[in-house]
Structure 1
Amino acid sequence: MIKRIPLSALRVGMYISDLNNDWIPHNNNRRKGFIRNEETLEKIGRLGVQTVYIDTSRGLDSPEGVPATAIDQANEERLSRVAEEPPEPFRRAAMSEEMDAAIAIHQQAQGLVGNVMQNVKLGKAIDLAPVHELAASLQGSIFRNHNALACLGRIREKDNYLLEHSVNLSVLMSIFGKSVGHSNDVLHQTIVGALLHDIGKILTPDNVLHKPGRLTAEEFEVMKQHAAHSHSILATTHGIGELSVLTAAEHHERMDGTGYPKGLKGEEISVYGRMVAIADVYDAITSDRVYHKGMTPTQGLKKLLEWSGDHLDPKLVRQFIRCLGMYPVGSMVLLESGRLGVVVEGNEDDQRLPVVRVMYHTRFRMPITVETIDLSKPGVQDRILRAVDPDDYRLDTRRFLA
């Protein structure tokens, strides 16, 4: 049986099934293994994790263990409670109207971030004019209908993670900042900071940045320096806002002080740093990478709840979930009819009733005609039973999003 235990209960002879530290970026540590000595316990203790998962069928049990199924059920209930507090409704453009503009903005954003990183690598100063222009376009699209850009954030390639992560983080911060009522100027600055938050990685050696395997402890220390490099580069960039610098510099800080580069704790971290940390973790753990299979959006939200308090600001985590919805765009869901659908548009009035695109029937185990259904419309009888993993049905949700 898989159980979660507090770190203090971990003993030699136990088998770790999950270090429960996906919130730490990069594959710097082995996730599984038998604990053979005290030295291994000491190493795990230095990771900053508060709880780990053990497999009692492969090692010792613990009286302090809680079954993983119970943890998941508790997170599901917490997610439902958060979803009962919908964001403020607002008038928006139709998804079909906004999608073309969103596609153009998304493509422009990837090209721009790539050009900025290449120019800085060549020793050139950052030209902020096109960055500001792009941030304004992103902001406009989010206000018209944030589902369009959110939808595109699920259509990505693992080999292009660095650029797509920067773009998607700016989209998530746009949605997040809008939901908490940031002014236009603050929202603009945080979007710029999110777009450029990983600029410091141009100073990370390629053999570390693009290593397909596990990073050594020494390599991870080198990787961690990118946050400080981002701060240095942006702080000396003429015309950049203070909040943009803060957003980029603090995206790896954690509430319990286990983050970097400064190891800030609690409210020592700016609200923008606490917000971007949540969005950064969510995007990272729900993205496929060379060495990491992404979680489903709903699994990602549950993990944010599990890590809130220790690592992430709990109040802001709840707000982040409310603005993305109980079933974020890109989630695959099972309907009462037995059909599978991908969420393509949220519903601010009732998060249980988003717009879904159905394509498969689980009872007949076969594809069906693709159809877009607004579950909130009068006369629609189908309802969502639960979120599911598309890999269980060998389906690629990206094909049905745009």
Structure 2
Amino acid sequence: MARCISRAVEDEWLALEENQRLALRKTIVVFKELPEKILNGESIKYEAIRESCHYLVEAVRGNEIDQILKNVKNHDNYSYVHSLRVAVLLAHFGNEIGLGQDELLILSVGGLLHDIGKVAIPPDILNKPGQLSDQEWAVMRSHVDRSLELIQCVENRPRGVMTIAAQHHEKLDGTGYPNGLKGSDLNELARMAAIVDVFGALTDLRVYKPPFMPAEALDYMRNMGPDHLDQRLVKMFRSMLLDTASLLRAI
């Protein structure tokens, strides 16, 4: 059933404009095939992953991302949906604050791959409706290390892509994971990624929770205070989203 739902959603992508269509079709191929190719010992070049995100960045720069977000919503692969949303919103965030093409590609690839290690997390833990036990939580947290192991197999990968995967669960006060980094130890790209990842998690529909409305999620993030997220960047992210009505409707 799930495969049929996903196939139907992917068939609908054929009617989209070129950048929107290729952004979705090429990134889903990368997301699905990368772990298997690495496990099979195949050579993975960063340029191929970057090319898949080229169309995503072009859609961002052409103000076409609302259609991407709308058309990925009903796909059954939750990890892909979340990662694609993070990639889109990270690239949009970077574009709004004036980053160049190379940085936007790093942000989009980093967003797409930041949780790729969740392929190694058992589905009964990943999709558990109730609270995770301490042991289950330790398994869940291990997805960061698994992501880094996979990304390290990509030839010519930029440091920024690794940093986004490594640091997006760190907190400014040092209580995050996996390394308890804090303050100035946290890279600017990773600070942006942490904000977008939290926003994505709050607004995602999961089996164990309904989605937050975007404005609710932004209020929640602001109320987290300065110990978790970089509130200077949260303010910028909030302004960016609230100024774009079509984007808010697509989330």
TM over 0.5: yes
- Mean Cα deviation higher: 212-221 or 111-120: 111-120
Which structure would you say has the larger RCO, counting Cα contacts within 8 Å and 6 or more residues apart?
Answer: 2
Distance 1:198 1:130, change over 3 A: same
Question: 2:36 matched to 1:118?
Answer: yes
* 1: CA distance, partners of 2:39 / 2:132: 23
* 2: CA distance, partners of 1:273 / 1:116: 22
5+ residue gaps, structure 2: 1-15
Q: What is the number of residues matched between the two proteins?
A: 234
Tell me the residue number matched to 1:366.
none
SS in 1 for 2:211: coil
* 2: CA distance, partners of 1:287 / 1:204: 19
Residue type of the alignment partner of 1:144: G
Q: 1:172 Cα deviation (Å)? A: 0.6
* 2: CA distance, partners of 1:162 / 1:306: 27
Q: 1:124 Cα deviation (Å)? A: 4.1
Residue type of the alignment partner of 2:162: V
CA contact (8 A) 1:298 1:326 kept: no
CA deviations over 1:374-401 (Å, ceiling 9, x no partner): xxxxxxxxxxxxxxxxxxxxxxxx9xxx
Q: 1:273 Cα deviation (Å)? A: 0.8
CA contact (8 A) 2:86 2:112 kept: yes
Q: 1:185 Cα deviation (Å)? A: 1.4
Tell me the residue number matched to 2:48.
130
191, 206, 222: which one aligns with 1:274: 191
5+ residue gaps, structure 1: 1-98, 332-342, 345-397
Question: 2:123 matched to 1:209?
Answer: no
Matches for 1:346-361 after TM superposition, within 5 Å: none
CA contact (8 A) 2:23 2:53 kept: no
Residue type of the alignment partner of 2:65: L
Question: 2:141 matched to 1:224?
Answer: yes
Q: TM-score, normalised by structure 1?
A: 0.54
* 2: CA distance, partners of 1:297 / 1:223: 25
What is the RMSD of the two structures over their aligned residues, measured on CA atoms? 2.2
Matches for 1:193-208 after TM superposition, within 5 Å: 193-208=110-125
Tell me the residue number matched to 1:45.
none
Distance 1:282 1:164, change over 3 A: same
Tell me the residue number matched to 1:167.
84
Tell me the residue number matched to 1:256.
173
Tell me the residue number matched to 1:233.
150
CA deviations over 1:12-55 (Å, ceiling 9, x no partner): xxxxxxxxxxxxxxxxxxxxxxxxxxxxxxxxxxxxxxxxxxxx
CA contact (8 A) 1:227 1:248 kept: yes
Higher strand share: 1
Q: 1:100 Cα deviation (Å)? A: 1.6
CA contact (8 A) 1:121 1:202 kept: no
Residue type of the alignment partner of 2:59: S
Q: TM-score, normalised by structure 2?
A: 0.84
* 2: CA distance, partners of 1:118 / 1:329: 36
69, 75, 91: which one aligns with 1:153: 69
CA radius of gyration, larger in: 1
Residue type of the alignment partner of 1:185: D
Residue type of the alignment partner of 1:150: D
CA deviations over 1:226-263 (Å, ceiling 9, x no partner): 11222233234211001111111111111121211111
CA contact (8 A) 2:127 2:207 kept: no
314, 333, 348: which one aligns with 2:231: 314
SS in 2 for 1:153: helix
